[in-house]
Amino acid sequence: MFLTEQNIAFALVPGLEIKRSLGISRGKDDKIDATKIALYGYRLRDEIKPYDLPSKDIMTLKSLLSLRNRLVKQRAGYKSSLKEQKRIFLKKDYKILFETQQRMIMSFSKQIQRIEKEMKTIVKNNGQLKHLYDLIISIKGVGPQTALFLIAYTNAFTKFKDARKFASFCGIAPIPNSSGTSIRGRTKVSHLANKKIKSLLDLCAKSAIQSNPEMKSYYHKRIEQGKNKMSTINIIRNKILSRVFAVVKRQKPYVNTMKFAV
């Protein structure tokens, strides 16, 4: 934000990318790291593009989504411990223990609702974000939280050109593992991914299998053919993500064509 205010061009590059691009290295300190970053920037000076800071609404959404995620995790921790303690302890002997945790859970729930309300207000007051939000949730299986995460982490669908690149970012794109005739590894997804969005897309896929007749039929057909369950779910994740990018590109809500099939 400071660099943007000062009109200084900059680029955001993952540290792991810089580290792997420079080969084997020994030792580490601030001077060595600064030298490596400078060398990386000099070598790729024709390829590196300046970074454009997202809009204020997108940055606020990302911050609120991150905060909500932390609160949900903390609330889940209290719920889990309270459930376990209720199975073991008598309520009359541990009244304070139970009541305190229950109040914490209620407090977390209240703050989570407050954050969700604020995010809805931000989207509602921004015409572009509201339009994108409506397009995304028109797809069966995609809920409000997933829609907000997709909008925030694609920078309103300007950061990624297509669904395949974002699928790679989320860790759901199948990556081949083969070389010549000696290596014939199994095609699988990468662990270098945004795990939160991956988990949300996983929930979307499972929801679509339950609520979308097309996805349900496709899933059961593959399972009957003996296909792997997780690979089938991953295909459905990619199908959903492709539909999200398609509706955004067309600027029209998703149409369920299966209902027109005879």
Nearest 10 degrees: Cα torsion 211, 214, 217, 220: -70
Residues ≥6 apart with Cβ < 8 Å to 212: 140, 141
Residues 65-118 have pLDDT tens digits of 999 999 999 999 999 999 999 888 887 788 899 999 999 999 999 999 999 999
Question: What digits encode the pLDDT tens for the residues 231-258?
Answer: 999 999 999 999 999 999 999 999 877 6
pLDDT in tens, 170-218: 999 888 776 666 666 677 777 888 899 999 999 999 999 998 888 999 9
Full-model pTM:
0.86
Both tokens assigned to 117: 């309300």
Helices (H) and strands (E) in the chain, counts: 11, 2
Q: For residue 109, which amino acid is it?
A: S
Please compute the mean of the pLDDT values over residues 49-71 and round it to a whole number.
94
pLDDT by residue (tens digit) across 128-169? 999 999 999 999 889 999 999 999 999 999 989 899 999 999
Percentages helix, strand, coil for the chain (3-state, rounded to 5) are 65, 5, 30
pLDDT > 60? residue 262: no
- What span, in angstroms and rounded, lies between the C-alpha atoms of 60 and 16? 27
Question: Mean per-residue pLDDT for 53-59?
Answer: 93
In the DSSP assignment, the letter for residue 161 is S
Buried b (16+ CB within 10 A) or exposed e, 108-147: beeebeebbeebeebbeebeebeebbebbbbbbbbeebbb
Q: In this predicted structure, what is the pLDDT of residue 99?
A: 92
Report the pLDDT value the prediction gives residue 232, as an integer from 0 to 100.
Answer: 93
DSSP string, 237-255: HHHHHHHHHHHHHHTS---
